[in-house]
Amino acid sequence: MARTFPFPAGGLVSDKMLAAYEADGFLVLTGFAPAGTCAALRRREYELIEAFDPQSVRTVFSTEDQAHARDAYFRDSGDRIRFFFEAGAFDAEGRLTRDKHGAINKIGHALHDLDPVFAPFSHDVRLKRLAEGLGLEQPEIVQSMLIVKPPFIGGEVGMHQDATYLHTDPVTVTGFWIALEDATAENGCLFAPPGGHLTTLRERFHYDGGALVKTTLDPRPFEDATGEPLEAPEGTLVVLHGLLPHRSGPNTSARRRLAYALHAVDGTARWSPDNWLKRPAAGGSAA
Ligand SMILES: O=C(O)CCC(=O)C(=O)O
């Protein structure tokens, strides 16, 4: 069955696309963002990092040790625009070894609400229709991230399910991941096993009192811990089911791999109040 489709006009999901999504747990939709839009979003990413003082904070984002989870700068970033470094950006003395533009791992987590360029892009009506067509009755964006994956030191993202981090009952979180530059197996594209979402949620990352902890719900390893590469030319949108295990490789190449990821939940599902991300009082913003 086809897994790659041209982005459908108006975001209207066809029966074939829906069948592929239900079978595989992901869709690769080419041509969502035109070249001019990707260039404008890259310019904005440059401006954001340009305005960031790298001496002001030193939080590293790493899915290996989750060290960021102890840091208030991360914990309070759900409704802010904050900057997280690559682990490989510092020397043994804690000094930055490169220019800040090549040192940032990601920027999150409320660009969709706060940024004058990323907010309108995030609320494109085509995305809302797409989310509705894939089964979200009331799509609400809860999180946005610019994932930079810089050359040479871009860290890998370990195999995970998004419902581990953004939990609702029932599970509804859905990822909308947009390649702002070509993503290939060389510069750290996404990997996922087709059909991998037809399984249980393995872990939850949540507050337990004042501590952010990871709790095992099902100790079985994922059936396929590697997945297939989801290579994505610039402008491609990859949709990821909340139970789909997925990961991304390290970037040891000289080519950056910038992506913008949105996560939406269904407003009709119960938001788990112990999620790491605290939603604004009025609820998240509509997709
Ligand atoms: O872009 C990446 O490297 C990982 C993205 C991811 O895992 C996600 O958006 O859930």
Question: Residue 44 maps to which CATH number?
Answer: 2.60.120.620
**CA-CA-CA-CA dihedral for 177, 102, 68, 110, to nearest 10:** -40
**Which of 95-99, 131-135, 138-142, 263-267 shows the lowest mean pLDDT across its residues?**
95-99
| Residue with CA closest to ligand 1 atom 6 | 247
Average pLDDT over residues 63-78: 84
Q: How confident is the model at residue 70 (pLDDT cuts 50, 70, 90)?
A: confident
pLDDT in tens, 7-60: 999 999 999 999 999 999 999 999 999 999 999 999 999 999 999 999 888 888
Q: What percent of the chain has pLDDT over 70?
A: 97
For the CA of 147, the nearest atom of ligand 1: 1
pLDDT at 67 exceeding the cut of 80: no
CA of 260 relative to ligand 1 center, distance in Å: 9
Estimate to the nearest angstrom the gap between the alpha carbon of 281 and the chain centroid.
23
For the CA of 162, the nearest atom of ligand 1: 10
| Residue with CA closest to ligand 1 atom 7 | 247
pLDDT at residue 60 in the model? 86
pTM, to two decimals: 0.96
CA of 200 relative to ligand 1 center, distance in Å: 20
Average pLDDT over residues 108-135: 98
Number of domains in the chain: 1
| Residue with CA closest to ligand 1 atom 2 | 248
Site to substitute for ligand 1 among 143, 184, 248, most atoms within 8 A of C-beta:
248
Expressed as residue numbers, the domain containing 210 is 4-286
| Residue with CA closest to ligand 1 atom 9 | 261
pLDDT at residue 142 in the model? 98
pLDDT at residue 69 in the model? 79
Which residues surround ligand 1 with Cβ inside 6 Å? 147, 149, 157, 162, 175, 177, 246, 248, 259, 261
For the CA of 259, the nearest atom of ligand 1: 1
CA of 157 relative to ligand 1 center, distance in Å: 7
Task: State how far the Cα of 216 lies from the Cα of 234, in Å rounded to an integer.
Answer: 36
CA of 195 relative to ligand 1 center, distance in Å: 18
Average pLDDT over residues 176-200: 98
Task: State how far the Cα of 30 lies from the Cα of 8, in Å rounded to an integer.
Answer: 9
